Structure 1
């Protein structure tokens, strides 16, 4: 029922002849297979080549990998994480079993929360607010209502807002005694936390596939929307602006009534557009800041790391990070969040026009909200307990048994030969080689891509029949056939976008897995 959204696996051994590796991902893995998932793997960190002195932390303490989600920096959010490393940020995952604390957050400039599927305890809300008051910034990435990936009745929008729809008086409404007494539900109370501190609230709407094209000009968005024309939504929600002195919308949907097909109510509350509330909003609070996105689709890529914890099935995610101007907006957003500014009210910003509050229905008030359908949306699989990792299927995050095959003894080494810099507007050949493959075998599913910083694809690769694709993007899938020594190679021909110049990246994928990514120049 829930839409598929997710990620990628970044490999630890990536070699590209004559090119420079701009960042290092410290994670367990082999370049020829998806890394084996170990229960006690250390949290990954991406170290930039040219540090800007700032750090970004991604939350993975609130079921960010539940169901079809894979919101980790070495999985479904890896392209986003790499783009931040390219900007000079050190990027790390917060991985722990105990509740998060202010000390966890304090060393970081920006804290990114992708779709929290478990609620934040009162102590955690206090830690988050202390962090912002003291100069930290938070990026909240939510989704449509009923995006309950672990089937615990709490959606990401509810976890962020601080209360369950229709359960204001009882956060554990409908839960079994075992669920209600589970560690994730201890010290959880209903609050209108997001509204009280940041002047916004995620609406419980569920809008379908719509391209946001009402973009607030850069001079009214703190420069965040520079070079942004459109932003993609694939089933998501919007944000209600409650206090214009604290919060402002910067990206809006067009007028629309396109609801998500599985919406449990009307899905679209005010006919889209500005009345629906922004898809992307920002806020200034204390010495810090916050930003809010109503959909995870623009942030994810298509290379998930983990298996579904409930079913054990492989995940399939959407490569939304490279759609529209999604990557540009997201990097701009983090750059603004990481910038320290002293004003505490938006009316203090010269020339800034304040928003009008979003019109809400009476039933959107927290204590008056109702639950349209009984939750969870589907019965959990037999034996699966969302609060108990010992019931998670092998290969999923937190599972006690990885269930994955051990990696081979040697790493596959990939090499590419091509001009550097690559000339814009020209046709070039790129020879891809691999050593360390199983001798005499054929490896399928490879694709090659070339993209600028921010994710824009800038190469067309000639097809096997001699034709050219109509759009820039990854090559058609190809094979690598190894000889008796485990060596394989293939030559591809590419047309480079004549209007693209500057820093770029060449990337080899195999199915959803990344084999290498390296830096070059287009001139």
Structure 2
């Protein structure tokens, strides 16, 4: 009896839980203490991430305890101390003292000229600077400046007037911002205003030509990003490029304001990732935040107050390897001022289009690209939505989701249950629209959720779990019966819960395989001569399914039994059980049901396991189970415990 596989009676000590709070960040802003992470095995180096230039505007959440946390954690594992820079005031040289690398994630508020001088001086004196930009018009706070323009030092179509089109109050917020070709003048590169998509950066410079930065890097993700132009090959070099053969039809980002693809990809499109040497220090550049981000945003959207949605980019392709390699290179001091003093091959100047020259540039579409919501002012944090960075108001208490799953999900097609608990609801509040699925690496859906009538869907994928209603304490709980595609051979997958808007609420890794046998002590076995029935010691009382095994001995090898029927009934004869049909549906009544064909093995023993369930309305603690071979031919009747 030790080979019986129990699907539902699992030891509490091995049940797996996953928790998520939705929108639980407290009010935080520049005046609050910034997060600091210290490594267990320090390498003596410190990395500072900027969060003083709109790094949490719109859907961005580029902070080390938010959607840049995977990047930060990888650096901590490498031995770096990692900190966030917060300030109401402009960046000063004093702010960078003691740090080896300064990371600037997709700035949305322009640098003042004094701040540009601080950054350039930091690099000249031995520091490393990492500029992370994005595609043109990624203006997340709707202030008419996007990260490429901010990094470059000038606004497209407004080189002679950086506050063109702004109100007096907006212009005042940009006091000290001066147009110049700053990035090109200081670091020998310029972010282009192209916008590329539907491709991957797979043209990788060799280790000998990249100072080892491209080690273990075969390709890098790009999802609506830009490239750079090498303007001074003596100090700047590309190390990752897009493939050739790109076209505006196939590879232009759908919202690009111009042709999107400037030179058909390849070398002439400019590097997607570049590096620069500036006297004692260094800089690195990447044209998209997608390879850096992860799917754990911390704050709410500052304009709308809605939950942000970011993506798992850091772990995709070879993005994480490249980013850590870049920081390692930036943090390492080297005794040369320019690439001309090394053995690497110098790049050629990237050919620019006439419209890319600052004085020739034009504002192709009106800016900002849409009108901000009423009341939202990008320069006034008092107008920011509750729960966003910079707001002084914490978001209201929101739901906490807990998902309980078996330690192993049965991949043979047998049903199993998962339990969802939702807390922080109002008493008796109902919620609906939640959907769940199990999927393989790559996204293939492999799960079904049983319908309320006992039937099963005809396909695999996200399926509704039905409504949940809170008790008087604001807690709702529901057990969901699922099954997996029996053709699946994988041993790992993920289970994900989404809300009605498609937001991910819980994502957790799960193990697939044969369900571990329950100890024999958890079974109750009844028998009469050659007839035996095994079933769980305690039977589920809420209509949940449980396994029952029937064994018949004394048969000739290969003999079949086709008329075996079982039922569970109360004292007085009331039937309270059903047997699941072959198609996984359930009968509409309670009583005797055929268990199917049993075939004897070489020892003359035939056995079969079926799934049964009890009428959820019963309250009795004892009942009887009976096996018969056709009507009236009772061969085993025994009393059993229900609870």
For Structure 1 versus Structure 2, the TM-score category normalised by the shorter chain is 0.7 to 0.9
SS at match of 1:111: strand
Equivalent pair of 2:297/2:309 in contact (CA under 8 Å): yes
1:240-389 paired onto structure 2 within 5 Å? 240-255=229-244, 256-257=246-247, 258-350=251-343, 352-389=344-381
* Number of the residue aligned with 1:109: 100
CA RMSD of aligned residues (A): 3.6
Matched position secondary structure for 1:82: helix
C-alpha distance 109-434 of structure 1, shift in aligned 2 (>3 A): farther
Query: Which residue does 1:133 correspond to in 2?
Result: 124
TM-score between the two structures when normalised by the length of structure 2:
0.62
The aligned residue for residue 393 of structure 2 is 401
Specify whether residues 437 and 260 from structure 1 end up closer, same or farther in structure 2 by C-alpha distance, changes over 3 A only: closer
SS in 2 for 1:48: coil
- Asked if the contact 1:245–1:346 (Cα under 8 Å) also holds between the matched residues in 2, the reply is yes
Q: Distance in 2 between matches of 1:307 and 1:318?
A: 15
The alignment partner of 2:372 has SS state of coil
Give, in whole Å, the separation in 2 of the partners of 1:437 and 1:313: 20
Secondary structure in structure 1 of the residue aligned to 2:382: helix
Is residue 2:134 matched to residue 1:143?
yes
Query: Contact 1:447–1:474 at 8 Å: present in 2 too?
Result: no
Using the TM superposition, give the Cα deviation of residue 36 of structure 1 relative to its aligned residue in structure 2, in angstroms: 2.8
Runs of 4+ in 1 over 3 A off after TM superposition: 30-35, 414-418, 432-438, 444-450, 460-464, 466-474
What CA distance in whole angstroms lies between the structure 1 residues aligned with 2:261 and 2:488?
Answer: 37
Q: Which residue is 1:191 aligned to?
A: 180
Shift of 1:179: 1.0
Q: Distance in 1 between matches of 2:136 and 2:180?
A: 18
Q: Is the 8 A contact 1:144 1:237 kept in 2?
A: yes
- The aligned residue for residue 80 of structure 1 is 71
SS for the counterpart of 2:484 is coil
Deviation per CA, 1:425-475: give whole Å up to 9, x if none: xxxxxxx9999989xx99x9999999xxxxxx89x9996526586889751
SS, match of residue 236 in structure 1 = coil
Superposed displacement of residue 219, structure 1: 1.1
Match of 1:160 in 2: 151
The count of residues paired between Structure 1 and Structure 2 equals 435
Question: Secondary structure of 1:181's match?
Answer: helix
Matches within 5 A, 1:405-420: 405=397
Residue 406 of structure 1, CA deviation: 8.2
Q: In the alignment, which residue of structure 1 is the partner of 2:495?
A: 476
Distance 1:472 1:130 in 2: 53
**Cα shift readout 1:103-142 (whole Å, capped 9, x = no counterpart):** 1112111111111001000110111111111111110000
Is 1:218 the counterpart of 2:236? The answer is no
Does residue 98 (structure 1) correspond to residue 124 (structure 2)? The answer is: no
Rounded Cα–Cα distance in structure 1 between residues aligned with 2:106 and 2:492 = 28
- Do the aligned partners of 2:438 and 2:446 also contact (CA within 8 Å) in 1? no
Shift of 1:167: 0.7
Q: What is the rounded CA distance, in whole Å, between the counterparts of 1:176 and 1:152 in structure 2?
A: 11
The higher relative CO (CA closer than 8 Å, separation ≥ 6) is in 1
Rounded to whole Å, the distance in 2 between the matches of 1:56 and 1:415 is 39
The 1:139/1:172 distance shift into structure 2, 3 A limit, reads same
Distance 1:474 1:332, change over 3 A: farther
Q: Which ranges of structure 1 fall in alignment gaps of 5 or more residues?
A: 1-16, 18-29, 419-431, 451-456, 480-489, 496-523
Q: Secondary structure at the match of 1:305?
A: coil
Secondary structure of the residue aligned to 1:113 is: strand
Q: TM-score, normalised by structure 1?
A: 0.75
CA displacement at 1:368 relative to structure 2:
1.8
Pair 1:176 & 2:167 matched: yes
Classify 1:79/1:491 alpha carbon distance in 2 versus 1 (closer, same or farther; 3 Å). closer
Cα shift readout 1:2-36 (whole Å, capped 9, x = no counterpart):
xxxxxxxxxxxxxxx9xxxxxxxxxxxx9756543
Q: Write the distance in 2 (CA, Å) between the matches of 1:120 and 1:472.
A: 50
